[in-house]
Structure 1
Amino acid sequence: MTEETVVETTWRLMREGHPGVRRGDPAVVAAAHAEPRLRALFPFPSHGALTFHRNTEFPWSNDLPFIVGDAHSCVVYAPLGRRRRVLGESLTPREAAALVVAHLPPDCGPAFEGPWPPPMSSVD
């Protein structure tokens, strides 16, 4: 049996409602987890938002769209640091997760372990 990655462990503990882990809205977390590209990213729920990161430790990448909302209504925003542009609103969690995936950069994922920015690749 293979060992879980930090990303896999974080998703699992969030979905199980583990008391030592940040928890987002269960419907939003479940919808995001159902999307393979989002499941490969590091999830970070905070203040009603579910953000996704290319790395597993602070400082975060903060360059990906994110979801704010609950089981009843979600809004998808463009990445932090840019103008607070709404990509979609009045969405179900599943629609919101799909919209985030549609706006991910092509080179996005899976998340690497460590802080942002990514480690420099070695030059041969």
Structure 2
Amino acid sequence: MTETVVERTWRMLVERHPEARRGDPEVIEAAYAEPRLRQLFPFPSHGCLSFHRNTHYPWSNDLPFIAGGVDTYRVYSAGYGEVLGDVATPQEAAALVVAHLPSDCGPAVEGPWPRTP
């Protein structure tokens, strides 16, 4: 069976493959452990781990994400709209993201996010 783009991206992140984007390994592993997040496209960048409903630019950019910190992890709503919480562990951060996912948030679609006029 062939890996999907989402499956391959997660695998490469978890394995710390040399061609994968870099992110906090503990945050990546905690997010990967959450089945709903594992269905989304992970995108580590600038100390954050964001999740998208699609696999190629332009991104959906409508989901909460995790920003790493020294002693805490902060979870933001999409676009830094609001702080959803500060927590002590990556596992708590991943659970907080899951708790704030829209109910219609299913597996990521292959390709760019549909633009609405």
Tell me whether the two structures share a fold, i.e. TM-score over 0.5.
yes
Paired with 1:45 and 1:66, the residues of 2 have a C-alpha distance of: 10
Give the equivalent residue in structure 1 for 2:103.
106
Give the equivalent residue in structure 1 for 2:56.
57
Letter in 2 for 1:84: G
Q: Which moved more, 1:34-43 or 1:19-28?
A: 19-28
TM-score for both structures, normalised by structure 1 = 0.88
Q: After superposition, what is the alpha-carbon deviation per residue over 1:45-73, rounded to whole angstroms, capped at 9, x for unaligned?
A: 00000000000000100000000005842
Q: Secondary structure, in 3 states, of the residue corresponding to 1:56? A: strand
Structure 1 gaps of 5+ residues are 119-124
Q: 1:117 offset after TM fit, Å? A: 1.4
Give the equivalent residue in structure 1 for 2:68.
69
Structure 2 gaps of 5+ residues are none
Higher normalized strand content (fraction of residues):
2
Alignment pair present for 1:28 and 2:22: no
Letter in 2 for 1:89: D
Kept in 2, the 8 Å contact 1:71–1:92? The answer is no
**Number of aligned residue pairs:** 115
Q: Secondary structure, in 3 states, of the residue corresponding to 1:113? A: strand
Q: 1:11 offset after TM fit, Å? A: 0.2
TM-score for both structures, normalised by structure 2 = 0.93
Give the equivalent residue in structure 2 for 1:122.
none
Q: Which of these two proteins has the greater Rg computed from alpha carbons?
A: 1
